[in-house]
Amino acid sequence: MSQFWSKSVHHLTPYVPGEQPQADDLIKLNTNENPYPPSPQALSAIQQACSEDLKLYPDPDSTALKQSIADYYHLKTNQVFVGNGSDEVLAHTFQALLKHDKPLLFPDISYSFYPVYCGLYDIAYKTVPLNDSFEINADDYNQSSGGIIFPNPNAPTGIALALPAIEKILQRNSNAVVVVDEAYIDFGGESAAVLIPTYPNLLVVQTLSKSRSLAGLRVGFAMGHPDLIEALIRVKDSFNSYPLDTLASMGASAAIQDKIYFKDTCQKVIRTRDKLSTDLERLGFDVLPSAANFVFVSHAEHTASDLAQALREKNIIVRHFKAPRIENFLRITVGTDAQCEQLMQSLSAIISKT
């Protein structure tokens, strides 16, 4: 029945999310979910919000959540925008701030939703190659553009860009919006949010899906100059004036406020990641330096596709990207210590067989 489609739909190449299998006996290390539960304070806030007040529409401005984010990052509420997960926030960003006559710039190895948004919103773009070490080179973005976006740490590589390099990009592109997508920043990077008061062309996007264990709640946010936030609000209010439900707003606000639990779980993930990286290197893997809750690895003697299939046969799922330059890499989510130990036992058995 594709004759009923709008013309533009025929040319879209949708984003393909990580597999979400329903089996209970799998070790799922393919979608970068946090292995630890959400903050107990967040769960309590959600439970308390389950009342007869759900018959009412939620606060269209998510005032309490914006205030929690603003307090955490020492900003004002008019410098904060919230949405249904960072993907929706990014979608509004592409439409509100990145659609110009000149092409949008982003890395050639990056979040694969970026070209999808460009196709959806008819945005011209140009990819900028990572260097031979799979790093973003700030000097490569010293060129005319309609905007710049990159994840930090980058995905799927996990490599972080330091704040001085981000500042260099901001300074050399003062007439264009620079979006720093910080989905994984809390696992070892330094947020560019501290640069917002200095650079009116900076927009920082984050999510509560990873470091705050709320992937099922779907909450994301952006921070930047009030003029940038106003553009996002204009798009949002032309699309969905009530983006976050009451449960999401209350749970997310409590999660932001529970700093002790947040820091504790992040440190657990970091410690496990560092041990996992060392163990993988001992098995002959090349492990890129990660500041995220995953590692990006390759093996000189085994193809990524073969390793992924062999792990699947042992009920362990990892992510394999069949893309240029990285077709022999696996992205492995950092699970619990027990899950990572099982992963290493399985990989040892697979590699010792050949």
Residues 84 and 111 in one domain: yes
- Is residue 114 in a domain? yes
- Is residue 11 in a domain? no
- Is residue 246 in a domain? yes
Residues 268 and 247 in one domain: no
Among residues 257, 280, 309, which one ends one of the domains? 257
For residue 229, what is the domain's CATH number? 3.40.640.10
Residues 247 and 299 in one domain: no
Q: By percentage, how much of the chain surpasses pLDDT 90?
A: 90
Residue 46 to residue 27: CA distance in whole angstroms: 28
> Residue type for 12, please?
L
Among residues 257, 281, 303, which one ends one of the domains? 257
Residue-level pLDDT at 3: 81
Residues 140 and 265 in one domain: no
- Is residue 58 in a domain? yes
Predicted structure pTM score: 0.95
- Is residue 47 in a domain? yes
What sign for the dihedral angle of Cα 352, 325, 184, 94? negative
Residue-level pLDDT at 12: 81
Q: Which of 163, 174, 168, 179 is nearest to 110 (CA)?
A: 179
Residues 140 and 160 in one domain: yes
Residues 29 and 57 in one domain: no
Q: What is the mean pLDDT of residues 296-308?
A: 96
Residues 74 and 159 in one domain: yes
Residues 194 and 72 in one domain: yes
- Is residue 89 in a domain? yes
Residues 268 and 305 in one domain: yes
Q: Which of 72, 55, 56 is nearest to 64 (CA)?
A: 72
> Could you report the per-residue pLDDT of 245-287, keeping only the tens digit for each?
999 999 999 999 999 999 999 999 999 999 999 999 999 999 9
Q: What mean pLDDT, rounded, does the chain reach?
A: 95
Residues 190 and 324 in one domain: no
The radius of gyration of the chain's CA atoms, rounded to the nearest angstrom, is 21
Report phi then psi at 163, rounded to 5: -60, -40
Residue-level pLDDT at 23: 67
Residues 282 and 253 in one domain: no
Among residues 203, 238, 257, which one ends one of the domains? 257
- Choose between 15 and 254: higher pLDDT: 254
- Is residue 212 in a domain? yes
Residue-level pLDDT at 69: 98
- Is residue 31 in a domain? yes
Number of domains in the chain: 2
Residue-level pLDDT at 259: 98
For residue 265, what is the domain's CATH number? 3.90.1150.10
Q: Residue 180 corresponds to which tokens in the numbers above?
A: 């720093």
Query: Residue 246: which domain range?
Result: 40-257
Q: Which of 99, 189, 108, 116 is nearest to 141 (CA)?
A: 108
Residues 70 and 209 in one domain: yes
Are 255 and 41 contacting, i.e. CB atoms less than 8 angstroms apart? yes
> Could you report the per-residue pLDDT of 75-107, keeping only the tens digit for each?
999 999 999 999 999 999 999 999 999 999 999
